[in-house]
Chain A
Amino acid sequence: MPKIDASSASDAARAELETAFAQRDRYLTGERTRVGIFGNGMPTALVEAAGACAVHVELAEVTTGGGSPIDVVIEPFLDASVSTFLNRFSRGEFADLQGIIFARDDAPALIAYQYAIEWVRQGRANSAVPPLFLWNLVHTDTEPTRHFNRVQADKLFGFFEAIGLRRPGPAQISAAIADEKMRAASLVKLSEAREQGVPAAQALRLRNAGRFMPAPKHGELLNAALSLIEKTPAAGRPRIGVIGSPLLSLKTYDMFDRLGVVTCDLQPWGDVWPGNFGDAKDLDELLVSTAADRSCHRIVPSEAYRQAILEATANAGCDVVICQLAQTDDTIGWEVPALAEAFSSRGTAFVNLGFRDPEPDEAWLADAAAAISAALGARQ
């Protein structure tokens, strides 16, 4: 497998990103106050503009049966990321965060918020839990929703002040958006690098490492890590698209890498983060672009979600699109038959791998690989 160049700067940058990914929300940059984020849909630029570093809290390795008192109120159908978070939250593991922001339109995040604030309200939480905030952004573009979303931003800024951060001004917001755009450019290079030999599993790690550090630092590290990449065009290898539930299983991505090149990764922890900032330059434009994120299940009009998948996988020239589902899925499953039909009509193979655990076992991986191989074989 081709590797990223071994120059020391590039290696150091890559190592730093790998460390951040491995340590996740325990990775400490030592630079600024840290504010937790749960879910996609919360523009981290606003946290940066308030002078803090946004740190995602929902990507921790899944633990079950932690034995925490909060387990008694966790139904088995809660997403693994939620139950893991709640266990850690109840043990006071986020005491060093200045606050935690939950994105309402990210399904697990809303439940995590509601269960966490109730635990606090009942006086059962560790006394060190940070303040919690619900980011209520609505994913629709009408004048009333624009007004509503501006109100939510104002509430967010009030929260920032309440937890000791500064209220972001226009200049700080614009600067933070510019930083995000620079990072986004680096992330585009990272996505393209998959076609030049960077394994999808590694790309997943390097992308998501940015969830635990400031955007400018992430962008700089990515640029350094990718600067001397070996160019090994993936011509001739099957082009794979990935959709479905949030997936952080490196073994699964290794399996994808063995079968082809991931050219389009649309699962929530794939290429869709940190979102599309378009031409945004100020707060209003940032809110509009965030509300227009078609990777959100709750976007209105509803057909935009499916259309975005169809467009992106077409643009990426996918030979096969792979769907994988968390055991708790209750949304993507509604799209599967229509997606299967659409892919079939345009001659793209579609493989629904069905349910899998957060870290699938070897048997599942073998079955999945066989199914994908068979679909690709049938195309030839």
Chain B
Amino acid sequence: MSEYLPLECSRAATDYQREWAKGLRRDITSGKSYAFVNADTPHELFHHMGMPIVTNQWWSAIIAAKQLSEFYFDYMESRGFHERLARYSSLPLIAELEGDTSRQPWGGLPTPSILCARQSADDHQKIFSLWAERTGAPLALLSSPAVPDPQPDWWRLARDDWETLYGSDRLDLMVAEFEVLIAQLEEITGRTFDRSSFASYMEAINEQERIFEEASALIAQAPRCPIRISEQMPNVMIPQWHRGSDWAISHAKRFRDELTERVQKGVAVVPDERIRMMWIGAGLWFDTGFYSAFEESHGAVFAWSMYLPFAADGYIREDKGDPLRTLAARVSAMNEQLHQPPWINAWMVEQARRYRIDVALMLIPEHDRFSGHGSLYAKQALEEAGVRVIEVWSDMVDPRQWDRDAMVAKVTPVLDDVLAEKN
């Protein structure tokens, strides 16, 4: 089997983020403010105000990738937090509470000027409130009333008919809460939110996500998968944390173009690809090497993870003349679309078909219930669509429940069966 060569742009993405983080530290040390925010909040408002953000889930993944999560979760329990609380969203808080910044990646984070979370999961406001208590930073909480009548094919409606999909009352409320947040940001930064240029900034984000959509289609339609999902993730998510910026758009193009070249040349993760798999859920951040575990043994490649296709379906929202409302449409159910039936089950089936998936591994974090909800509905829908589904009861950032050998042993017979059927 030939050696897998990573894309050149992958290193560029991680280098950029590392340099950005260093620059951020430098800026903060010299008095610049930054925000610590959850992934499903309106990053666009912070970016447009020129206020850097650190995303909770990204920072969590970084801590886990540094193999620090086990230490912090042990510490978490020693502080009196029980072991069944969510981990992905709380790992940065626990690192903050532990207090030794020298232990943290890149010397840890200074105190943010503002915290922002959306009440999509019940524990998010608890976690961010504890952070606010600890640091004294103000907390901006965005309401999250539910969509009472969720349409299964949300990704079709979300681009143009988002007013119908998400509900005018919910969008009205979210826009009103954006206005409050904007006023807070104006006060912190001393700058005025430039409403006249916000529409073009939002359009730049749409442009970026359309490029990712092309990249997703390339992988879905390629005879053989051209890159590992462990490379998809940084190439998508790092630009997403900087979405709409010149660098992010440029990087998205570079990523798409390298993919195009690979597909045209017939470069594949597994030259003799025989099985296509999807990884459902957040990344297995402490063991991303697992994603290549079945390439040699079964010609099985993980072709799909949510980050790339969600860039298009979760983000592209056509402007109807009010860019703040358009942003509300992007944000108001961002996380829910990945966890709530019928949204998650319908989207999984759609994606599995597009990517020609044979087997799905479904991460079910039982102690991060919001992320686990809807899993079995999605499993059932995928199985009805002909996809074999393997449940992975583990956590995105906590390795204590992860046994790679046991998981390989669980997946192997399923892949054997698929190969036997194909033969």
Give Cα A302 to B131, complex, Å: 12
Assess whether A336 is in contact with B126, with CB atoms less than 8 Å apart.
Answer: no
Assess whether B366 is in contact with A331, with CB atoms less than 8 Å apart.
Answer: no
Nearest to B117 among chain A residues (CB) is A302
Encode B361-387 as 1/0 by CB contact (under 8 A) with A. 000101111001111110010000000
Assess whether B123 is in contact with A118, with CB atoms less than 8 Å apart.
Answer: no
Assess whether B380 is in contact with A73, with CB atoms less than 8 Å apart.
Answer: yes
| Contact residues of B between 72 and 129, Cβ < 8 Å to A | 79-82, 84-86, 119, 122-123, 125-129
Given contacts A136-B148, A303-B129, A330-B85, contact A75 B141 (CB under 8 A): no
Report 16 cross-chain contacts, Cβ distance below 8 Å, ordered by A residue. Answer: A76-B366, A77-B366, A118-B341, A118-B342, A118-B345, A122-B342, A140-B143, A298-B125, A328-B369, A330-B85, A331-B122, A331-B123, A333-B85, A334-B81, A334-B123, A334-B126
| Contact residues of A between 331 and 352, Cβ < 8 Å to B | 331, 333-338, 340, 352
B139 to chain A, nearest CB (A): 7
| Contact residues of A between 101 and 153, Cβ < 8 Å to B | 104, 107, 110-111, 113-115, 117-118, 121-122, 133-134, 136, 138, 140, 142-145, 147-148, 151-152
Given contacts A140-B143, A148-B145, contact A302 B126 (CB under 8 A): yes
Given contacts A140-B143, A334-B127, contact A148 B373 (CB under 8 A): no
The listed residue (A122, A133, A147, A297) touching B122 by CB distance below 8 A is: A297
The A/B interface has a contact count, at CB < 8 Å, of: 129
Closest 4 CB pairs of A and B: A144-B176, A334-B126, A337-B80, A302-B129
A66 close to B (CB within 8 Å): no
B83 to chain A, nearest CB (A): 9
Nearest to A340 among chain B residues (CB) is B80
Give Cα A333 to B83, complex, Å: 9
Assess whether A72 is in contact with B126, with CB atoms less than 8 Å apart.
Answer: no
B375 to chain A, nearest CB (A): 6
Assess whether B373 is in contact with A298, with CB atoms less than 8 Å apart.
Answer: no
Assess whether A74 is in contact with B82, with CB atoms less than 8 Å apart.
Answer: no
Give Cα A355 to B126, complex, Å: 19
Encode B133-157 as 1/0 by CB contact (under 8 A) with A. 1000001010101101110100000
Assess whether B341 is in contact with A114, with CB atoms less than 8 Å apart.
Answer: yes
Residues of B within 8 A of A178 (CB): none
Assess whether B340 is in contact with A75, with CB atoms less than 8 Å apart.
Answer: no
Chain A count of residues within 8 A CB distance of the other chain: 51
Give Cα A327 to B366, complex, Å: 11
B131 to chain A, nearest CB (A): 11
B19 close to A (CB within 8 Å): no
Assess whether B173 is in contact with A148, with CB atoms less than 8 Å apart.
Answer: yes
The listed residue (B79, B141, B340) touching A302 by CB distance below 8 A is: B141
Residues of B within 8 A of A330 (CB): 84-86, 122-123, 367-369
Give Cα A368 to B152, complex, Å: 46
Assess whether B367 is in contact with A300, with CB atoms less than 8 Å apart.
Answer: no
A110 to chain B, nearest CB (A): 6
Assess whether B82 is in contact with A75, with CB atoms less than 8 Å apart.
Answer: no
Give Cα A177 to B350, complex, Å: 49
Assess whether A337 is in contact with B366, with CB atoms less than 8 Å apart.
Answer: no
Given contacts A75-B373, A330-B122, contact A325 B141 (CB under 8 A): no
A36 to chain B, nearest CB (A): 16
Assess whether B369 is in contact with A136, with CB atoms less than 8 Å apart.
Answer: no
Nearest to B127 among chain A residues (CB) is A334
A354 close to B (CB within 8 Å): yes
Assess whether B129 is in contact with A145, with CB atoms less than 8 Å apart.
Answer: no
Nearest to B376 among chain A residues (CB) is A73
Given contacts A121-B342, A302-B139, A331-B122, contact A325 B82 (CB under 8 A): yes
Q: Given A73-B376, A302-B139, list of 11 further CB < 8 A pairs?
A: A75-B366, A136-B145, A144-B173, A147-B173, A148-B145, A297-B126, A302-B126, A302-B128, A302-B129, A303-B129, A334-B85
Choose among A74, A122, A147, A302 the residue with the greatest number of B CB atoms under 10 Å from its CB.
Answer: A302
The listed residue (B139, B150, B172) touching A144 by CB distance below 8 A is: B172
Assess whether A335 is in contact with B79, with CB atoms less than 8 Å apart.
Answer: no
B207 close to A (CB within 8 Å): no
A192 close to B (CB within 8 Å): no
B177 close to A (CB within 8 Å): yes
Residues of A within 8 A of B122 (CB): 107, 297-298, 330-331
Residues of B within 8 A of A122 (CB): 342
A329 close to B (CB within 8 Å): yes
Give Cα A341 to B226, complex, Å: 54
B130 close to A (CB within 8 Å): yes
Give Cα A328 to B366, complex, Å: 9
B148 to chain A, nearest CB (A): 4
Residues of B within 8 A of A147 (CB): 172-173
Give Cα A329 to B152, complex, Å: 29
Encode A59-94 as 1/0 by CB contact (under 8 A) with B. 000000000000011111100000000000000000
Residues of B within 8 A of A352 (CB): 80
Give Cα A23 to B277, complex, Å: 50
Assess whether B145 is in contact with A138, with CB atoms less than 8 Å apart.
Answer: yes
B405 close to A (CB within 8 Å): no
Encode B308-342 as 1/0 by CB contact (under 8 A) with A. 00000000000000000000000000000000111
Residues of A within 8 A of B172 (CB): 144, 147-148
Given contacts A144-B172, A297-B126, A337-B79, contact A77 B372 (CB under 8 A): yes
Give Cα A130 to B376, complex, Å: 24
Nearest to A106 among chain B residues (CB) is B122
The listed residue (A72, A76, A327) touching B380 by CB distance below 8 A is: A72
The listed residue (A134, A148, A334) touching B146 by CB distance below 8 A is: A134
B169 close to A (CB within 8 Å): yes
Residues of B within 8 A of A328 (CB): 84, 369
Given contacts A298-B122, A331-B123, contact A145 B173 (CB under 8 A): yes
The listed residue (B80, B82, B173) touching A138 by CB distance below 8 A is: B173
The listed residue (A142, A298, A327) touching B119 by CB distance below 8 A is: A298
Residues of A within 8 A of B129 (CB): 302-303
Give Cα A138 to B180, complex, Å: 16
Assess whether A145 is in contact with B143, with CB atoms less than 8 Å apart.
Answer: yes
Give Cα A111 to B377, complex, Å: 13
Residues of B within 8 A of A110 (CB): 146
A117 to chain B, nearest CB (A): 8
Assess whether B169 is in contact with A329, with CB atoms less than 8 Å apart.
Answer: no
| Contact residues of A between 297 and 341, Cβ < 8 Å to B | 297-298, 300, 302-303, 325, 327-331, 333-338, 340
Give Cα A282 to B19, complex, Å: 58
Nearest to B82 among chain A residues (CB) is A333
Give Cα A147 to B172, complex, Å: 10
Assess whether B177 is in contact with A144, with CB atoms less than 8 Å apart.
Answer: yes
